[in-house]
Structure 1
Amino acid sequence: MSPTVEALLAKLSIRDLAILDDLTQLRLLSTRQIQRLHFPVAEGHHLTGGGATKASWRVLTRLERDGLIAHLEGRIGGTRQGSQGFVWQLAAAGERLQRRRRGSGTRRRYLEPNRLYLEHRTAVNDLVVQLRELHQRGAIELLTVEAEPDCWRPYTGPHGIAQTLKPDLYVVIARGDFENHWFIEIDLATEHLPQIVTKAKAYRAHASTGAEQRRLGIYPAVLWLTTNRARAAAMTAALKTDPSLPKGMFTVIPTDEADLFLLGTGASP
């Protein structure tokens, strides 16, 4: 007989529950990402990378044994990455437990994602991990992180047609007395440039409703993180070719410059 939700809850630590919460919000996390979030190599935590790796694997295999999480068939980085390349999601018991904890009656189906979705989701969650690490170090004050679908914004488009703006993330970071609000898009150079412009037009249409401005007093800036500087330059140029797009709304930078940009010390292309 499978253990009850109450029996499972009684066995779980605060860290166990935090891992389940992250998998609920972010859907898929690699062993490496979970290790960075919950088994940091820092003073007062695991002092060596090896210790953190062993501790994280011990916890993950226990949660898997209890039916709370499961890893996908595929791995990030291929089989040479070993257990560090495993990608985890909630399993059936974990999903039931989380619904009980959150008072939600909505059941989510967990399917094996295709490779493109997995790579994109991993890139999005890499940024979330990066933001959380900057916050933990005191480098930024991370006020809000909304992942899909929480960051999606329904709105009424032209001719009264219901639309949904679907950013990858919505993030709020405080710097002193100021707050920076961003809708964030992760680009893996898999879309043609006209598709990027079309997505930018969706932001323009959403902004024109004024819904976000009424809620926040401003419209969030839109930040695209992409593969390299050449791709960033090409995307920036494509966005500038459409005069209907608002100036200053969109910024495109390479992913490896995200730290400096988020800290407010980097310059956009």
Structure 2
Amino acid sequence: MYNLFVSGNEESWNGDPWNIERGRCVYEYTSDALRDRYGKLDQAAIAELKRFPSVFAYESGHERSPKFGMIRDVIVRQVEVRVVYELFDVDPFLGFEDLNTLRFELDIAKMEMYRTHWAVKDVDLTAVLNAQGIALPGWARYPGRGINIRTHEFEVALSFPGEERDLIEKIARELEHRLGPDRYFYDRNYPGQLARPNMDLLLQQIYGERSKIIVVFISGHYQLKDWCGIEFRAIRDIILRRDHDRIMLIRTGDGEVEGIRATDGYVDARRHSPEELAAFIEQRIGELQP
């Protein structure tokens, strides 16, 4: 599966958010089944679409080569949709002629590249491009695959208070790039799967049993939050078992957290960028690899 974005503006795909008419989103040049599944652009649909690799192309008249990337956010209004995206350097990548040469393989209709739109294609983009000698990043190999949140094992889980949401969102985006989808547990990646009774027990399983590393973002806010307390029950059990390598502490503000000692080491988030923090997390994961 992949997203195909086509713009008639040659200034598009410079990194700025892209606005498009609502009626041209996941409707035109998209199969009935995919239109029914994703066309409403509700929260669940957007969460899946964000996991698909994306081709950002121009209408044929511009003769400009497409770019590769992923959706970071989709904001839906009454008549327009704003797509926030991130581009990744892939060299080599498709030229503008390739979109015509590979029309069948990429499921592109004959006149499709003459129309500004956003389509979703039921095509294994990685396989098609591999046959052309084009290698995509590792995260693009298995886009949008479903997981069973009750059994799935994660490389890392993030435990944080809501006051740190903006920072965590940036770190999560970087982890998506570094690790790929479904390798890290961030609650907003699984809104539908977490909407169930006894979520507290599910979270304790994820943090306590099914995540190699748990990153705890500590501050006075963490101590006061009920859900942080639920997650920390599982984290405290790990500490009591002296399985200290599974815990990583990142301090986001002043304040004590019961169970965290003054002698415990931590990274000070106030001195590092989200990208650096994600790199530190990736390093810790690497230490536990066999």
* TM more than 0.5: no
Higher relative contact order (CA 8 A, sep 6+): 2
* Larger helix share, 1 or 2: 1
Structure of greater Rg: 2
TM-score normalised to structure 2 length: 0.33
TM-score normalised to structure 1 length: 0.34
